[in-house]
Structure 1
Amino acid sequence: MRLATLLAAILLLSIGPAARAADPAVLKELAPTGKLRVGVAYGPVPTPVFVVKQADGTVRGVTYDLGVALARSLGVPVEVVAKPNTGDLTEACANGSIDIGFMPADEERRKRVDFSPPYFTIESTYLVTAASGIRTMTEVDRPDVTVVGITGTATVRAAGRSLKAAKIVTVPSVDEAMAMMKAGTVQAFALTHDSLPPLQKTLSGSRILEGAYLTVGVAIGVQKNKPAALAYVSNFVERAKRDGLLRRAFDAAGLQDLPIAPPAR
């Protein structure tokens, strides 16, 4: 934890002073209120998608660091808007109550939000309870199995498409889903693989299933019909890959073992 905190401090220092104001057309679309409203989803542990809330109410994580860096590149202040799930981010991005949001860019979301190239690729699988006896993906799809997922997420949508016999229920947050797993009211939790190892440690005998039923890129979303905003965040993501900003953000969050997405073609 101390190493992650130190890396985060170094990252924020490396972002440097605020840049000159961006092109007026970009600012009009990307920061229409004069500040960049950055939408992030929070969870119990930091991931390439989730930030964590700290005791003082602030957040830390990859998406927070990237949002701060993007605001500085624009030369505007940042306002962080934290939501319990990426479904809420989709809605906020689509209706314009936030300027950008970090979320998996599945086909359903692409109908409502435009996306930069991905900065990470997620794979979705299941955490299953010891009592369930489930050991493979196939065994999840039984009439006696109830799967919990997070409301409005790409992961739970994909689970719904792939499961025919199992029952699916949704809740707003990871904490609520884990409470159901611990209570034994559900047998499986549909979530991204990178998020599951820390959660597995809190549930004795649970296992993470091998394989993935969804593979999708995580990207920066902007409201539809904002071409200047989309071009700017797309260039920002690619630049963050090249200059090491993205790698430093992952490392500062304790995600040294996770690969960032390759440059877009």
Structure 2
Amino acid sequence: MTIEEARAELAPRGAIRVGINLGNAALARSNPDRGGLEGLSVDIANAVGEKLGVPVEFVTYASAGKVYEAADRDEWDMCFLAIEASRKEKLQFSRSYFTIEATCLVPAASPLVDAHAIDIPDVRIVAASGSAYELFLSGCLEHATVIRTANPGEAFTLFSTQELEALAGIRPTLEGIARANDAYRVLTGSFLVIDQGVAVRRGNVAAAEVIQDVLSERFGHDGDASTVGSSRSV
């Protein structure tokens, strides 16, 4: 692997186009005061650009599902997504660089208590389509119903206006909602621990190696900013 090979794979147009999911504020978010983006994923992307000596251009999406769909339209050269087996048909992932718990937000008076015990008849759980937690719930729930929306923002709107039983999402986002509104609370526990990775198209071996080098330089030998493990129920 050479830097030149990685540059050819990641920046064939002269800049690295980076797909960013703004539905996961724990890793990337807009900063109006600075007129751009900030967060761990943004920092990693900039570090890759610096290592290759090329500029970085961010392409933003409202949800993880939209980032993944854009792979077929050649809208980005690298992206940040949860490491999911179904996505590996098209993408090559780095090791996990961060893990996030997935759980549920419920009305304060809800009888639901623990995220391990949500697969109950008549429980409707709204989730952003194509997200790691939606894919997991859709594949394992036998009694509860998953209602899908285009992005996390629409999921919360539907949950709050239609008085649904639960909103699935990542813990940092849901806890932020609960802190701002005492009409809601977050369930204890998590139904999934999600590994976040940096992805490139399959076959871009040099690009994948450079990205892993950047993660190792930033976070140590394993290249992880938090506890590592595959996406799993807990």
User: RMSD of the TM alignment (CA)?
Assistant: 2.5
What TM-score do you get using the length of structure 1 for normalisation?
Answer: 0.77
1:105 maps onto 2:89 in alignment: no
Q: Cα distance, 1:58 vs. partner?
A: 2.5
Aligned partner of residue 180 in structure 2, secondary structure = coil
Amino acid at match of 2:49: A
Amino acid at match of 2:217: R
Structure 2 Cα separation of the partners of residues 189 and 54 of structure 1: 27
Unaligned runs of 5+ in 2: 229-234
1:260 maps onto 2:223 in alignment: no
Which protein is richer in helix relative to its size? 1
Q: Is the 8 A contact 2:116 2:189 kept in 1?
A: no
Amino acid at match of 1:33: R
Amino acid at match of 2:226: I
1:166 maps onto 2:132 in alignment: no
Q: Cα distance, 1:57 vs. partner?
A: 5.7
Identical residues among aligned pairs (%):
27
Aligned partner of residue 201 in structure 1, secondary structure = helix
What does residue 153 of structure 2 align with?
A: 175
Count of residue pairs brought into register by the alignment? 227
Amino acid at match of 1:28: A
Of stretches 88-97 and 98-107 in structure 1, the one that deviates more from structure 2 is: 88-97
Aligned partner of residue 70 in structure 1, secondary structure = helix
Structure 1 Cα separation of the partners of residues 7 and 207 of structure 2: 8
Structure 2 Cα separation of the partners of residues 186 and 79 of structure 1: 38
Structure 2 Cα separation of the partners of residues 139 and 26 of structure 1: 46
Structure 2 Cα separation of the partners of residues 162 and 124 of structure 1: 14
What does residue 47 of structure 1 align with?
A: 26
Structure 2 Cα separation of the partners of residues 216 and 105 of structure 1: 7
Of stretches 57-66 and 144-153 in structure 1, the one that deviates more from structure 2 is: 57-66
Unaligned runs of 5+ in 1: 1-21, 248-258
Q: Cα distance, 1:137 vs. partner?
A: 3.1
Q: 1:95 to 1:116 in 2, by over 3 A?
A: farther
1:200 maps onto 2:178 in alignment: yes
Amino acid at match of 1:153: S
What does residue 37 of structure 1 align with?
A: 17
